[in-house]
Amino acid sequence: MSFVEYSDIIQDGDVAIVYLGHDSMTPIKVQHGAQTQTRYGAIRHSTDLIGQRYGLKVTCTKGGWVHVLHPTPELWTVTLPHRTQILYTTDIAAITMMLELKPGSVVCESGTGSGSLSHAILRTVAPTGYLHTVEFHQQRAEKVAEEFREHRVDHLVTVRNQDVCKDGFGVTGVADAVFLDIPSPWEAVGHAKAAMKKHGGRVCSFSPCIEQVQRTCEALVKHGFQEISTMEVLLRTHDVRTVSLPMPDFGPHDTAQEKETPPNQTVFMLKTTTPPREIPGHTGYLTFATKPRT
Ligand SMILES: C[S@@+](CC[C@H](N)C(=O)[O-])C[C@H]1O[C@@H](n2cnc3c(N)ncnc32)[C@H](O)[C@@H]1O
């Protein structure tokens, strides 16, 4: 198992995602001799998991069952232990596309936080790209580095425990893209520029408040970035529902059958979708810019 490569068979030491139904999921470390308790009873790792195929349905000791899934960055985002606020898939999708990430891209990121975005970046840039991620909170830096090892992606990433605003990313002239998710991104824009390749690249900064966006844009202009644009990505879920409507009355009726059934007593059923009137869940603004060739 690796978060950047699929394997069929569950092995000792893997991280697997247990799907308990109703969108409830939890990550587990697969270990010989270990057991995981669920509301359906225990899962015995040695007999129920190791050597079995990912995707399998496991019957737990109380008779209920769960599915055991191969981990992905998307599943990790919804199951990871939070140490910080994290980025979710809606923003991550826009970030990955607008930063033009692809296999082989070199990316600098700060702060690492809980590593939600980092895992998505790693899957996108693998197998030949690289992530340099900077986190100034020591325990968070150590914890995420441990997770990268457990998820077998540590060959693709370096975690640096330093202040990106003071000390930068620890690399110069290597990055195709830089991502900032820190309270004062404007203080790191100069370091972002220094980390990027001479032939240019893309930068993105995530901020919840528009005042942070304004200061970041000013810093981007000052450092010669171009194509500066800010967007907010909102997810609009359309619920499908069935409505019943009265049959329209088209005037006098001629046939015998229609005379027997007055039209205004007939209804017809219609499947429809309704967009929500309000969209809760502002996460933040994404500011993108391009560093031109220097
Ligand atoms: C909101 S979290 C990032 C979440 C991350 N994008 C994710 O998806 O999991 C912000 C992180 O930035 C770190 N941070 C804040 N200022 C920093 C700085 N100047 N240098 C390095 N890390 C910083 C914080 O410790 C925190 O862990």
- CATH number, position 37: 3.10.330.20
What was the pLDDT predicted at 284? 96
38 shares a domain with 83: no
What was the pLDDT predicted at 256? 57
The answer to whether residues 178 and 210 touch, using CB atoms and an 8 Å cutoff, is no
Answer whether residue 253 is part of any domain: no
What was the pLDDT predicted at 156? 98
Angle at 84 between CA 278 and CA 88, to 5 degrees: 45
Which of 109, 135, 180, 216 to probe ligand 1 with, by most ligand atoms within 8 A of CB? Answer: 135
What was the pLDDT predicted at 259? 55
What was the pLDDT predicted at 260? 56
Answer whether residue 109 is part of any domain: yes
217 shares a domain with 95: yes
27 shares a domain with 163: no
- Quickly list DSSP for 192-222: HHHHB-TT-EEEEEEESSHHHHHHHHHHHHH
- Looking at residue 107, the DSSP 8-state letter turns out to be E
Q: Which atom of ligand 1 is nearest to the CA of 111?
A: 12
Answer whether residue 43 is part of any domain: yes
192 shares a domain with 118: yes
- H or E, element range at 141: helix 138-150
d(CA 114, CA 132): 15
66 shares a domain with 160: no
Q: How many domains does the chain have?
A: 2
Among 127, 114, 196, CA closest to 156: 127
What was the pLDDT predicted at 218? 98
What was the pLDDT predicted at 244? 86
155 shares a domain with 48: no
Angle at 154 between CA 149 and CA 155, to 5 degrees: 140
Answer whether residue 182 is part of any domain: yes
Answer whether residue 252 is part of any domain: no
- Give me the CATH number covering residue 225: 3.40.50.150
98 shares a domain with 62: no
Q: Which atom of ligand 1 is nearest to the CA of 113?
A: 27
What was the pLDDT predicted at 247? 77
Cβ neighbourhood burial of 228 (10 Å; 0-12, 13-18, 19+): middle
Domain extent, residue 52, equals 15-71
- According to DSSP, the residues that pair with 49 across neighbouring strands are none
What separation in Å is there between the alpha carbon of 254 and the centre of ligand 1?
Answer: 74
Helix, strand, coil shares of the chain as percentages rounded to 5? Answer: 30, 30, 40
82 shares a domain with 65: no
174 shares a domain with 62: no
216 shares a domain with 124: yes
Q: What is the largest CA-CA distance in the chain?
A: 88
85 shares a domain with 21: no
67 shares a domain with 79: no
Angle at 104 between CA 101 and CA 110, to 5 degrees: 55
Which residues, 6+ apart, have CB-to-CB distance to 271 below 8 Å? 240, 241, 242
Which residues, 6+ apart, have CB-to-CB distance to 4 below 8 Å? 122, 123, 126, 127, 152, 153, 156
Positions in the chain short of pLDDT 70: 253-265, 280
What separation in Å is there between the alpha carbon of 23 and the centre of ligand 1?
Answer: 28
